[in-house]
Amino acid sequence: MLKVNIENIFGFVPKDEIYSLEARVAEANSSIYNKTGKGSDFLGWAGLPSRTFADTAELKRINDCASRLAGLSDLMVVIGIGGSYLGARAVIDALSSNFNALLSKNERRAPLVLYAGNNIGEDYHTELLKVLDNADYSLIVISKSGTTTEPAIAFRLLKEHCEKKYGKSGASKRIAAVTDSSRGALKKLADSEGYETFVIPDDVGGRFSVLTPVGLLPIAAAGFDISKLLQGAAGMENICRKECSFDNNPANLYAASRFSLYNLGKAIEILAGYTPNINYIIEWWKQLYGESEGKNGIGIFPAGANFTTDLHSMGQWIQDGVRNIFETVISIKEQCHILKVPNDANNLDELNFLSGKRFGEINKMAELGTSIAHVEGGVPNILISIEKLDETNLGEMIYFFEKACAISGYLLGVNPFDQPGVEAYKKNMFALLGKHGFEKESAEIRNKLKL
Ligand code: PA5
């Protein structure tokens, strides 16, 4: 079971101060469950794991579609951005071999998942098309609004490629869409082309949607067990709902700790892991917390680090730079494989003191040594430990972070479920590209840029 240990922040914030937030955290919880807080139309994620886990018909439909697409494909292209991309990638990367792309078809458990529409790179998408020329593939297109530019243009491109390659009716069997129940261009398109379609519930926002078909369909298509993922999340949902005390409720403890640290001037949180498998968990977390909290001139800046790699790049800054940071470490107890340092009779590299030791043990000592050094260097340290990287533990962790994020947002006094700031770049981009309806903005921006 996931645990949060905050002993290494007590040298910075007294324990009493954190525990004195208990009533405010309880209030945030009741705003979530009673739907009385800001953004209360978007609280569907709070009971989602148990609800979806019990919906065996929908789970079967997701798994059946995933197997059908997988059966047709060596490659699966998942098209989406932000909350319609990061959660699936986080789970798939965490559970896959680091070298999945290099494995043979037989060694790989399911199609290799590739991503599109998460950027507008011309070279990226050209190179992707070249890869797709020579492989059998399917597409999962995901957009709640159905109007986001990045995935929409990528889908237009890939749909055309797919139809040229397999014919219109062949392509429609290889494409599944995940979108809003009734609105948006993607819904209209999917209905008219006859794609299999899955719905993102109205009351679940993008960055809280990994446990809807947004994440579940690609994760199932990549060969992983979505029931276990939901079961893990439902277990955490239960704990977070029932356990009131800080000590037994990890989401409450994490939210209160980071809020206390923020009030102390620790404006940057670095989420660190010690295995590349969780790099995209960190990316997903950055989006979840960044979009939820950073508004009205406040909010903790969520940064990520991949240790020990980044100890040789950002390590100096973290140890010795401006003391406005704190660190949250995801610690994974068990590794999937056993690998030991070999003995060398000549010992010319003087490493025989490590002979026979597991890489995991050395990594753990790096983790412990780093946390001691960082705390002594003035960086408070929160430790989140999980048993291992599997579906159940990832499900627990996903729900834990979502719940703590909502509580954190309410403690800060912001609406954790909107993202008005994201519109600013879109408005300028549409104005510059001459989108219909943006004529006034277009004139203004062209004037500003003296175009
Ligand atoms: O969290 C969010 O709401 C956003 O990151 C969205 O997921 C992202 O902008 C993609 O939106 P959509 O799914 O509508 O294409």
Both 320 and 350 in one domain: the answer is yes
User: How much distance in Å is there from the Cα of 395 to the middle of ligand 1?
Assistant: 21
Confidence class for position 28, pLDDT limits 50, 70, 90: very high
Both 73 and 190 in one domain: the answer is yes
Domain span at residue 189? 42-224
77-87 pLDDT, tens per residue?
A: 999 999 999 99
Q: Measured between alpha carbons, how far is 4 from 26 in angstroms, rounded to an integer?
A: 18
Q: Indicate whether 366 belongs to any domain.
A: yes
At 12 the pLDDT is 97
| Tokens representing residue 87 in the block | 């959660």
Confidence class for position 225, pLDDT limits 50, 70, 90: very high
Both 149 and 297 in one domain: the answer is no
CATH of the domain at 75: 3.40.50.10490
Cβ(416) – ligand 1 distance below 6 Å: no
Contact partners, residue 33, CB within 8 Å, separation at least 6 = 46, 241
Q: Indicate whether 66 belongs to any domain.
A: yes
Nearest protein CA to atom 3 of ligand 1, as residue = 206
Cβ(206) – ligand 1 distance below 6 Å: yes
Q: What is the pTM of this model?
A: 0.97
337-363 pLDDT, tens per residue?
A: 999 999 999 999 999 999 999 999 999
* Residue 249, helix vs strand vs coil: coil
Cβ(83) – ligand 1 distance below 6 Å: yes
Q: Indicate whether 397 belongs to any domain.
A: yes
Q: Is 256 exposed, middle or buried (0-12, 13-18, 19+ CB in 10 A)?
A: buried
What is the number of other CB atoms lying within 10 angstroms of the CB of residue 417?
A: 24
User: How much distance in Å is there from the Cα of 422 to the middle of ligand 1?
Assistant: 10
At 242 the pLDDT is 83
Confidence class for position 156, pLDDT limits 50, 70, 90: very high
Q: Measured between alpha carbons, how far is 30 from 380 in angstroms, rounded to an integer?
A: 29
Residue 243, pLDDT > 80, answer: no
Last residue of a domain, one of 195, 224, 253: 224
Confidence class for position 211, pLDDT limits 50, 70, 90: very high
Both 148 and 246 in one domain: the answer is no
Q: Measured between alpha carbons, how far is 389 from 336 in angstroms, rounded to an integer?
A: 8
Residue 9, pLDDT > 90, answer: yes
Q: Indicate whether 145 belongs to any domain.
A: yes
Q: Are 22 and 240 in contact (CB under 8 A)?
A: no
Both 282 and 295 in one domain: the answer is yes
Q: Using alpha carbons only, what angle is made at residue 290 by residues 234 and 112, rounded to the nearest 5 degrees?
A: 60
Both 245 and 383 in one domain: the answer is yes
User: How much distance in Å is there from the Cα of 142 to the middle of ligand 1?
Assistant: 9
Q: Measured between alpha carbons, how far is 251 from 109 in angstroms, rounded to an integer?
A: 34
Q: Indicate whether 435 belongs to any domain.
A: no
| Tokens representing residue 259 in the block | 């809020």
| Tokens representing residue 90 in the block | 């986080």
Confidence class for position 184, pLDDT limits 50, 70, 90: confident
Q: Measured between alpha carbons, how far is 178 from 156 in angstroms, rounded to an integer?
A: 15
Both 7 and 129 in one domain: the answer is no
Tell me how many domains the chain contains.
2
Q: Indicate whether 210 belongs to any domain.
A: yes
Alpha helices in 250-358 (DSSP H): 250-263, 279-293, 315-320
Q: Indicate whether 373 belongs to any domain.
A: yes
Q: Measured between alpha carbons, how far is 138 from 132 in angstroms, rounded to an integer?
A: 10
At 31 the pLDDT is 96
Q: Measured between alpha carbons, how far is 15 from 130 in angstroms, rounded to an integer?
A: 57
Q: What are phi and psi of 385, to 5 degrees?
A: -110, 140
Both 167 and 239 in one domain: the answer is no
- Give the active site residues: 291, 312, 426
Last residue of a domain, one of 198, 224, 250: 224
Percent of the chain having pLDDT more than 90? 92
Q: Measured between alpha carbons, how far is 217 from 198 in angstroms, rounded to an integer?
A: 9
Q: Indicate whether 172 belongs to any domain.
A: yes
307-342 pLDDT, tens per residue?
A: 999 999 999 999 999 999 999 999 999 999 999 999
* Mean pLDDT to the nearest integer, 5-16: 96
At 106 the pLDDT is 83
Ligand 1: nearest atom to the Cα of 81:
10
358-403 pLDDT, tens per residue?
A: 999 999 999 999 999 999 999 999 999 999 999 999 999 999 999 9
Cβ(213) – ligand 1 distance below 6 Å: no
